[in-house]
Chains A and B, each alone.
Chain A
Amino acid sequence: NAGVTQTPKFRVLKTGQSMTLLCAQDMNHEYMYWYRQDPGMGLRLIHYSVGEGTTAKGEVPDGYNVSRLKKQNFLLGLESAAPSQTSVYFCASSKGTQYFGPGTRLLVL
C-alpha cells in the first residue's frame, strides 16, 4: 500500500516548456486534489476532482490543466511554464482525511 505517489520528484523547466505531473493513489479514494506551496505560505488549491472523469477549478487554476481518466490517477499539466509557477506541488486524495503525496519541486527558469 503505497498511499499517494507523485512523479517526478524534481524538475527544471525553461519558460514556455510544457510538462505533466502524475499523481497516483491506491486507496480507492474518490476525491483528489492538486495544491501548490510557495515559500512562507500554506498550500493553495489549484484543481480538484470528485471522481473519475470529473475535474473542477480551485483558487489558483490559471496556467494549469488537469485530467482524471482513471480513478487512481490525477494529472496536472503545465502547457507553457512561467517562472511564477516555480513552486512545490502536492497531490492529495481523500475519503475523509486528506493524505498527501511527497511533493514535486518545480523550478521554471
Chain B
Amino acid sequence: AQKITQTQPGMFVQEKEAVTLDCTYDTSDPSYGLFWYKQPSSGEMIFLIYQGSYDQQNATEGRYSLNFQKARKSANLVISASQLGDSAMYFCAMREEVVTGRRALTFGSGTRLQVQP
C-alpha cells in the first residue's frame, strides 16, 4: 500500500487565488512528521512546511499552510495568493519516527501546479 498518496497529477490556478494540494498518508507509527517540498523546473528540492503528528495547531509559513486532519490522515498544502513563481512540482513526504528509526522521508508522486496570469 502506498504510504503517501497525491491524487492530483496536475493543477491550474489563477494568479492571486488560493489553491489546495491534496495529500493523504498511511502509517501505524505513533509519531511521524509530514513535509511539503517544492521542486521548480531547475530541479532543486525546497523545503516549505512541516507538521508534527502531535502538533495541535496547523503549521503555517508565510503564504503556505498545512491543513492537517489526523483522523482522516490528510495533510493538504494550501497556498494563498498564488504567484507565477509558485509554478512547480510539489511533493508531500512523511517521516516515520519510531518504527524504523532512520528518519528518512517517503515521498508521494507529486502534483504539478501551474499558475496562470
Contacts and interface: CB of A to CB of B under 8 A. Distances in A.
Interface stretch (A19-27, A72-80, A91-99): A91-99
B47 A97 contact: yes
B89 to A, nearest CB: 9
A90 B43 CA distance: 10
B10 to A, nearest CB: 11
B43 A102 contact: yes
A96 B51 CA distance: 12
A35 B107 CA distance: 10
Contact of B107 (A42, A97, A102): A42
A41 interface: yes
Which secondary structure dominates chain A's binding surface?
Answer: strand
14 contacts: A40-B110, A41-B109, A41-B110, A42-B4, A43-B91, A43-B105, A44-B107, A48-B102, A48-B104, A50-B101, A58-B102, A97-B35, A98-B35, A99-B47
Given A42-B91, A100-B45, 15 more contacts: A31-B102, A41-B110, A42-B107, A42-B108, A45-B104, A50-B103, A56-B102, A58-B102, A88-B43, A92-B105, A97-B35, A97-B47, A98-B95, A100-B47, A103-B43
The 8 tightest CB contacts between A and B, nearest first, are: A42-B107, A100-B45, A43-B107, A45-B104, A102-B44, A103-B43, A42-B109, A42-B108
Interface of A: 31, 33, 35, 40-45, 48, 50, 56, 58, 88, 90, 92, 94, 96-100, 102-103
Interface of B: 4, 35, 37, 43-45, 47, 50, 91, 93, 95, 101-110
